[in-house]
Structure 1
C-alpha cells in the first residue's frame, strides 16, 4: 500500500503537469516562439521535480504507470512529435491498461507522428475499456483529420459528429464536448460544398452551449469558429464581435484580417445600395424588363417587400442582376439585384460557379431565405435587405435551370480551427 507521502509526491507532480497544460491552453503571445520557450521552461521544471521523487515512492505498478504517464505528458506538451514521450506513454498503458488519460496522450502523440491509422487504433482500444468523453472528443477530431482528401470524406465527418454527440451524452455540461460538436458540424458544412446551412444552425447551437462553460471563455478558437458560422449565416454583427474577441485573445489567429474582410464587403454593399449607381429611369427600365417565367403553380410570386424573416417556402421572387460584388472569400457569391417593384437587395448564392450569373441576367429565386440586415459597427450603420439561396436548384437563370456543369464540383474549405 502506498504511503500518504508517496501519493502526495505524484499528486504534486500531476498538479505541475496540469499547470503546464493550462499555460498551453491559455497563453497566446503575439510571437509563437515565446509560447514554446515558456512551455519548455516549465516542462524542465516539471521534469526536474518528477525526477526528484525517490524510486521507492514509485515502485508499485500503479505508481510506475502514473510516473511514466506524467513524464510522457510533459514531453508531449509542445506541438511537435516527441519519440521519448511516446515511449513513456506506451510504458504507462502497459503497466496500467485502465489509465484512460495515458491512452489519450498516447493517441495524440502518435497523431503528431503522422500515423493517423495507428492513432485511431490506440483511441479505439482505449474506448473498448470504457466510455470516456475526452477520448471520444479526440477520436472525433482525428476522424475529421483523416477525412481530408479521403474518398469517404463525408462518412468520416459523419462519424466525427457521432463521436462528438457520444461525448456530450456522457457530460452534457462539458463545454469542450459541445465545442467539438460545433467544429464537426462546421466541417460537415464545408464538406457538403458549403450549401446546407442546417449544418451551420447545428454548429452555432453547439457553440452557444460551449460558451455556457466558464472554462471555454479562455478559448480563442471557440470565438473564431463561432464567428465563421455567424458570417455564413449573415449574422454580421456577431461575426465581427467574435473575430474581434478572438484577435484579442490570440493574435496569431489573424482574426483581425477576418474583421477587415467583413467590413470591406459591408462597405461595398452599402456603397452600392446608397450610391445611386443607377438612375431612377434606368432602374425602372430594368425592373419593367423582367420577363414572365413559367413557374410551378405551387409557388407564389412575390417581391422583396413582402418577404418574411427567415425561410420563405413556396415563394418565388424575380430579380434583375445589377452588379456582381467582388469579395475576399471563396463562397458565397454576392450580387446586387432589383425586383419588379424596383426594390434593391443583396443576393448571396452557394454552390454555383462564378461565371454562371452575370450582370443584367434575370433570376428566379425559389424558397428564398430573407434577412433584414440592420446594425451599427464602429460608428457606421449598415442597413439592407438580403436574400440567400443555398442550393443550385433554387435558382433559374434567364428562365433556365442550372446544369450540373454549372455547379461547383468540389467541397469548399475554409479557415477554422479543427
Structure 2
C-alpha cells in the first residue's frame, strides 16, 4: 500500500474512496455464469460502500469541496449498475455544481447521462471534463461515445475518425495504458465496418492496438479484449489465433457468445474444405479452364498457376482463374469464391471491398500479385487440440484434421487486383 493509500485508509472519506475503487474493480473483472449474480454482488458491495460514506462525520462534509467529494462518491456508487438511475445523476449534478473543477465527477456524470440516452449532454460532460486538463480516461470515454453517436448518421465514417483521433490522444498521455490501446483497437475495428469492410489496414491497426493492450497486466481480466481481438483475427483469417482468443474470452466471461463464433468459424472451414474436395476432380474442370491459357496478360506480369505460387505476396505475378461458385457464409467479410486455374487446380479466393454481386459464377478473373496463404492447422503443436476446443465449447462436431485441410488455399487481394 502506498503512502497515499495508507493516509486515505485512516480517514472515513478515504475508506469510502477505497471502497468505491473496489466496487468498480468488481464491475470490471467479475463475470459469473449467471449475470444476476453480478448484480447481487454489486448491490451488496455498493450498500457497504454507502454505509462507509455515511459514516463520514458531518464536520467533514461542510465545505463546498468536501460536500462535492461526498456527492460525487455517492453518485458514483449508485451508478455502478448497468441501468440508468436518476438518484445517481442527481448526486453527480450536485457535485459538479459545488466544484466545477472536479473532472472525475464530470466524467461519471457523462457516463450516467449516457445510460439515459442523452448522448449530446453526455458529450458536453466529457468535453467539460477535458477542459480541466488532459485525461486519458475521459478521452477514451469520449472516443467510445463518438462511435455510439456515429451510428446511423450520414457522416458516420467522419465521426468514427474523430473517435480514432481521441483514442490516439489518450495513448500519447500514457503509452503503456492497456485500456487506451484497447479503445483504439475498438475504434479501428469500427472504422473497418463503417468504411465498407474492405480496408485490411484498419484490421491490422486494430490487431496491433489489441496486442499492445495485452501487454498491460491489468487488461488480462477484460474478456472483451480477448473477444474483440479474436474477432479481428477471424476477419484477418488468422483462424487459429481467433479460436484461442474466443476460448480465452469464454473462460473469462461465459455470457459472451464466443461458442457461437467458434461454431460459425468451424462451419465455414468445413464448407471451404468440402467445396475443394467436391470439385477437385470434377469432369467439368477441363472445359471450364480450357479458355484460361489464352487470356492475354500485361508484359509486366509473369503468368503462374496455383502450384507455382510462394507463400505471401507474389510480386509481378498473375493468375488467371474461372469462378465456379460463390460460397455463402454469415459474415460480411471476406467474400469467398471457388475458382480453378488453367491447370484445373481448384482454390479458394477471398476478397475484401466489393459487393457480393460484383463477381459472378462463370467470370474469368486475372489476379494480379495475389497474396498466397496455405492453411495448416497444427492443433497439437499449438496446444489447441480438436478435443480441447470441442470440450471447452461443447461443440457436437469434430474439427478438420491437418490432412483434410492441407489443400485449403486462401488469397487476400485488393479490389484493384481483379480489375485488370
Contact 1:140–1:163 (8 Å) recurs in 2:
yes
Aligned to 1:287: 289
Measure the CA separation in 2 of the matches of 1:343 and 1:142.
49
The answer to whether the aligner puts 1:387 opposite 2:405 as a matched pair is: no
Tell me if 1:170 matches 2:173. yes
Q: Deviations over 1:31-53 (max 9, x none)?
A: 22222222122212211221122
Higher RCO (CA < 8 A, seq sep 6+)? 1
Provide closer, same or farther for how the CA distance between residues 7 and 113 of structure 1 changes in structure 2, counting only shifts above 3 A: farther
Distance 1:118 1:137 in 2: 17
Q: What is the match of residue 323 of structure 1? A: 325
- Secondary structure at the aligned position of 2:377 is classed as strand
Tell me, in whole angstroms, the C-alpha distance in 2 between the residues paired with 1:206 and 1:52.
Answer: 44
Q: Secondary structure at the residue paired with 1:38?
A: helix
The alignment's TM-score, normalised by the length of structure 2, stands at: 0.87
Q: Distance in 1 between matches of 2:292 and 2:147?
A: 46
- For residue 162 of structure 2, what is the aligned residue in structure 1? 159
* TM norm structure 1: 0.88
Once superposed, what is the RMSD of the aligned Cα atoms?
A: 2.1
Give the 3-state SS of the residue equivalent to 2:342 in structure 1: coil
Paired position in structure 1 for 2:69? 66
Q: Structure 1 residues 291, 307: closer, same or farther in 2, change over 3 A?
A: closer
Quote the residue 1:230 is aligned against. Answer: 233
Which residue matches 2:4? none
The corresponding residue for 2:306 is 304
More moved, 143-152 vs 354-363: 354-363
- Kindly provide the CA deviation profile for residues 372-396 of structure 1, in whole angstroms up to 9, marking residues without a partner as x: 21113444323322102343x4324
* C-alpha separation in 1, matches of 2:297 and 2:82: 57
| Structure 1 residue ranges (4+ consecutive) displaced by more than 6 angstroms after TM superposition | 4-7
The one-character-per-residue Cα deviations of 1:198-226 (angstroms, maximum 9, x if unpaired) are 01111100000000000101101001110
Output one character per residue of 1:13-62: Cα deviation in whole Å (capped at 9) or x when no partner: 11111111111111112222222222122212211221122211222322
- Contiguous gaps of at least 5 residues in structure 1: 402-418
Q: Distance in 2 between matches of 1:192 and 1:298?
A: 32
Say which of 365, 368, 371 aligns to 1:369. 371
Secondary structure of the 2:324 match is strand
1:348 deviation in Å?
1.2
Find the residue that maps to 2:292 and give its secondary structure.
coil
Is 380-389 or 196-205 further displaced after alignment? 380-389
1:123: how far off?
0.8
Match in the other structure for 1:52:
55
1:161/1:311 Cα in 2 relative to 1: closer, same or farther (>3 Å)?
farther
CA distance in structure 2 between the aligned counterparts of 1:6 and 1:329, rounded to whole angstroms: 51
CA distance in 2, matches of 1:34, 1:98: 37
- Correspondences of 1:11-410 after superposition (within 5 Å): 11-273=14-276, 275-279=277-281, 282-290=284-292, 292-377=294-379, 378-379=385-386, 380-381=401-402, 382-383=405-406, 384-391=408-415, 393-396=416-419
Could you give the per-residue CA deviations for residues 162-188 of structure 1, whole angstroms, max 9, x where no partner exists?
101100000000000000000000001
Would the alpha carbon gap of residues 141 and 114 (structure 1) be closer, same or farther in structure 2, given more than 3 Å must change?
Answer: same
**2: CA distance, partners of 1:144 / 1:229:** 18
How far is 1:298 from its partner?
4.1
Q: Distance in 2 between the 1:158 and 1:367 partners?
A: 30
- Measure, in 2, the Cα distance between the counterparts of 1:23 and 1:212: 21
Structure 1 pair 5/32, CA: closer, same or farther in 2 (3 Å)? closer
- Note closer, same or farther for the CA distance 1:306–1:18 as it changes in structure 2 (3 Å cut): same
Structure 2: stretches of 5+ with no match in the other structure: 1-6, 380-384, 387-400
